[in-house]
């Protein structure tokens, strides 16, 4: 804004009042405080109340977010069926679209059968091929399904 020689801004001269930016409505600047002639103690009390309100709103938002996450995980976990595998059990390994074995829409979506060699903690499996060759990498139990001969 352009200041005149007497100190008034062009906004004041046109509209009869100083302009207030939106941030000054929420967090009053020193100029607004001086114009309103608010005492320091009153301004500090008002500022403290606004900050406390912001903290309460933030805490409510955090609590609501945690409540929502807990509710969603409970709903998801109700539908999850744990897969139990044991050594010696026959399984088929799923072929995912990003793997080299995926040849197209009409190609099979599973490979195998394989035998479960070891069950690791967390549901990972070490597989062994039917010729006795042990796979070097574990595979997630979600990527296999039971084979019924």
Q: How far apart are the first and last CA of the chain?
A: 84
Check residues 5 and 143 and name the one with the higher pLDDT.
143
Residue 77's pLDDT is 84
User: Cα separations (Å) of 94 from 97, 112, 122?
Assistant: 10, 9, 19
**Residue 73: is its pLDDT beyond 60?**
yes
Residue 96 to residue 53: CA distance in whole angstroms: 51
116 — pLDDT class (breaks 50, 70, 90): very high
Residue 20's pLDDT is 62
34 — pLDDT class (breaks 50, 70, 90): low
**Residue 96: is its pLDDT beyond 90?**
no
**Residue 54: is its pLDDT beyond 90?**
no
> What is the average per-residue pLDDT within 58-70?
89
Name the burial class of residue 83, with classes exposed (0-12), middle (13-18) and buried (19+) by CB atoms within 10 angstroms of its CB. middle
Average pLDDT, the chain: 77
pTM for this prediction: 0.43
Q: 126, 141 in Cβ contact below 8 A?
A: no
Residue 127's pLDDT is 92
**Residue 51: is its pLDDT beyond 70?**
yes
**Residue 29: is its pLDDT beyond 80?**
no
């Amino acid at each position: 804004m352009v200041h005149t020689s007497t100190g008034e801004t062009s906004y004041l001269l046109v509209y009869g009042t100083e302009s207030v930016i939106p941030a000054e409505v929420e967090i009053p600047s020193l100029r607004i405080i001086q114009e309103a002639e608010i005492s320091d103690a009153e301004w500090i009390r008002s500022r403290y109340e606004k900050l406390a309100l912001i903290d309460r709103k933030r805490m409510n938002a955090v609590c609501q977010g945690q409540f929502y996450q807990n509710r969603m995980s409970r709903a998801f976990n109700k539908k999850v069926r744990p897969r139990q595998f044991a050594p010696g059990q026959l399984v088929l390994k799923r072929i995912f679209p990003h793997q080299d074995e995926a040849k197209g829409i009409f190609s099979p979506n599973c490979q195998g059968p394989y035998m479960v060699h070891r069950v690791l903690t967390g549901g990972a499996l070490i597989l062994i091929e039917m010729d006795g060759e042990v796979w070097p990498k574990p595979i997630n139990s979600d990527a296999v399904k039971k084979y019924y001969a």
